[in-house]
Structure 1
Amino acid sequence: MKKVLITGIDSFSGVHLSSYLESRGYDVYGTSIFESGYKKYQCDITKKSDILIVLNEVRPDFLIHLSAISFAAHGSSEDFYKVNTIGTTNILDSLIELELNSIKIILASSATIYGNQGLEILDESLCPQPTNHYGASKYAMECLAKSYFEKLNILITRPFNYTGIKQAEHFLIPKIIKHFKEKRDVIELGNLDVSREFNDVGFVCEIYKKLLDCDKNGEVVNICSNRGIKLLDVIAMMNEIAGYKIRVEVNPAFVREGEIKSLTGSTKKLFGFIGEVKQKEFKQTLREMLEA
């Protein structure tokens, strides 16, 4: 069995990905900032000594680096840079120090690094223009990681929005689901004129697995579907699923400055690496989340 180490294994993505890989025969280990457990190590990636202990004990064949601050509205801008950049370079330096140069490494960046490009479809050739500290910290991480391309087998991924069961309720789709579960009459949202991919987390897990298996490295690649869905269309789907119509009100406090209006990615490079990956209809994802 091939060993996979997932940093941030108790995150939304980590929980789904670890289960998915285990079901397909991988021997999965992980790190958590909060606690240790079976095959799970408590580890602060901003402390290189923590990382060295974990890597030396596990000696993985693959590493998927998910550990980060992923909520763009997180209160402290400094945390984004400390975790998303210093934490990542600590991991890469530790791999070199332990002579684990041959393992396959996937670093999760973000599609928010593109910013507002004024284009319908975003591909990897575009010059990043992040509009918030989260996106800027991820772009900084990418720039630093590229200096390791000649020393380590690295793929950098730029995931577009995805969702599913167990995602934290401060994210948009779980917030909407919660309102319908509680049969609220009104939901307050921010920018309504936005379009996102809103992919299913199972689709993303399958892509990560295929990227582990492919022979590509030293590349940056989108994790996307080119399936854009407007926010108000999400509300319309939920109205139909739940059997009643919720009233939408704009709360100025939720309107983000520099909000990216459209985030839809080109799949050309991704599917060129791993072949086409299908996913379920988004209404099915919504229904599963409502019924969970």
Structure 2
Amino acid sequence: MKILITGIAGFIGYHLASVLSERGDEIIGLDNINDYYDVSIKFGRLNNLGFTESDLAYNCIIRSHKYSKLSFIKLNLEDKKNLDQLFLKESFDKVINLAAQAGVRYSLENPQAYIDSNIIGFTNILECCRNYSIKHLTYASSSSVYGLNEKQPFSTKDNVDHPLSLYAASKKSNELMAHTYSHLFNIPTTGLRFFTVYGPWGRPDMALFLFTKAILNNEPISVYNFGKMQRDFTYIADIIEGIVQVNDHPPSGNKNWDPQNPDPSTSFAPYKLYNIGNSKPVELSYFIETIEKELGKRAIKNLLPLQAGDVPSTFADVSDLMADFNFKPETSVETGIKHFIDWYKSFYQIT
């Protein structure tokens, strides 16, 4: 199988490309390397995959110095013409779309970035999948789609029509768009709702990274919902295992789907949604305590109310993942935080 991974310079894309390259898959990774956060981390990830920053010219495919079957192209998903040419030239079997404008809070400041990347870019991916007979599209959704839903644990069978941010709305839109293409053009699509992913090489705008940096620098941290926030923190290795399992098994359609009692997570069409979460919500205050323990330093806490666009709690129902793949995330936050902090100290050369 020849696989296109979009967002390869991102947190999840980098780890996925490493794992699939190690097992011998032929991969082309795509990324526009935008400056939403510190690009030195993105270049660090790409360097670990065998790419040199000076070689990364726009719309040029370069080969990895580390993996014989891994290549990279710098490209925007919104660049329909060159994206189409890439699909025409490379004859992909599968696509894993992880490229997106991330961040709930940033969507309040720069909504256009989410329309461009998450809606227009995703439309271009769908069109290419349609026109070039892609055997399976796996794409990143988010736990943020659950929005105002307070029924927990969050199930893919729940209604998700009340998002709280444009980011969440864009991910919900991706799911709807994917179903349409699965229905009309028989393209197998699988959406993965990720729950608060963390671990080595994580994003600098995420809580674990922000807290670790601030505590080490003796700076205050912003603790929203007065530390009572609960998140289903999910370690990166568990997320990658879930993506690999799903990507290897395209949906074929549910012959028993009932249009009188429709299950949102499946369809007559070859379409499926999964949650990938640890199924063990952790209170933010405990998460911070675990970081403090690992660093051997106390945090200076600035206690704040819940922010606009945020939800007080997330909790994944992964019963479908268990039923279909006999898999569920298991890594504890204690283990995951230790691995992250070990990486952080190494990357920033902190002794």
Quote the residue 1:143 is aligned against. Answer: 176
SS at match of 1:148: helix
**One-letter amino acid matched to 2:294:** I
Match of 1:134 among 167, 171, 176: 167
Gaps of 5+ in 2: 34-55, 64-70, 252-269, 344-351
**In the alignment, which of 157, 160, 175 is matched to residue 192 of structure 2?**
157
**Structure 1 residues 1-292: aligned runs within 5 Å:** 2-34=1-33, 35-36=56-57, 37-38=62-63, 39-74=71-106, 75-98=109-132, 100-101=133-134, 103-128=135-160, 129-150=162-183, 151=185, 152-182=187-217, 184=218, 186-191=220-225, 192-216=227-251, 217-250=270-303, 255-292=306-343
Contact 2:104 2:309 in 1 (8 A): no
Task: Calculate the TM-score normalised by the size of structure 2.
Answer: 0.77
Q: Secondary structure at the match of 2:338?
A: helix
CA deviation vs aligned residue, 1:215-235 (integer Å, no higher than 9, x gap)? 424111111221211110111
Kept after mapping to 2: 8 A contact 1:41/1:54 = no
TM-score, reference length from structure 1: 0.92
On the 8 A contact 2:104/2:310 being kept in 1, the answer is no
Shift of 1:251: 5.0
**Kept after mapping to 1: 8 A contact 2:190/2:250:** no
The Cα offsets for residues 39-89 of structure 1, whole Å up to 9 and x where unpaired, read as 111221112112112212222222100110011122311221221112111
The Cα offsets for residues 234-274 of structure 1, whole Å up to 9 and x where unpaired, read as 1111222222322311257xx52142011111011122121
> What is the identity, as a one-letter code, of the residue corresponding to 1:46?
E
CA distance in 2 between counterparts of 1:130 and 1:225 reads: 22
Query: 1 CA distance for matches of 2:205 and 2:250?
Result: 37
Q: Which runs of 5+ in 1 are unaligned?
A: none
Separation of aligned partners in 2, 1:66 and 1:278: 19
- Relative to structure 1, the CA distance from residue 94 to residue 276 in structure 2 (aligned partners, 3 Å threshold; closer, same or farther) is closer
**Is 1:8–1:32's contact at 8 Å kept on the other side of the alignment?**
yes
CA contact (8 A) 2:130 2:181 kept: no
Q: Is the 8 A contact 2:11 2:202 kept in 1?
A: yes
Contact 1:116 1:261 (8 Å CA) reproduced: no
* Contact 1:85/1:144 (<8 A) preserved: no
Amino acid at match of 2:289: A
Q: Is the 8 Å Cα contact of residues 242 and 327 (structure 2) preserved in structure 1?
A: no
Amino acid of the structure 2 residue aligned with 1:114: Y
The count of aligned residue pairs is 286
Confirm or deny: 8 A CA contact 1:157 1:222 kept in the other structure.
yes
Query: Secondary structure of 1:28's partner?
Result: strand
* TM superposition outliers: structure 1 runs of 4+ over 6 Å: none
Distance 1:198 1:278 in 2: 10
**Aligned-residue identity in percent:** 21
Give the Cα separation in 2 of the matches to 1:51 and 1:190. Answer: 40
Distance 1:23 1:51 in 2: 26
Query: What is the alpha-carbon root mean square deviation over aligned residues?
Result: 1.7
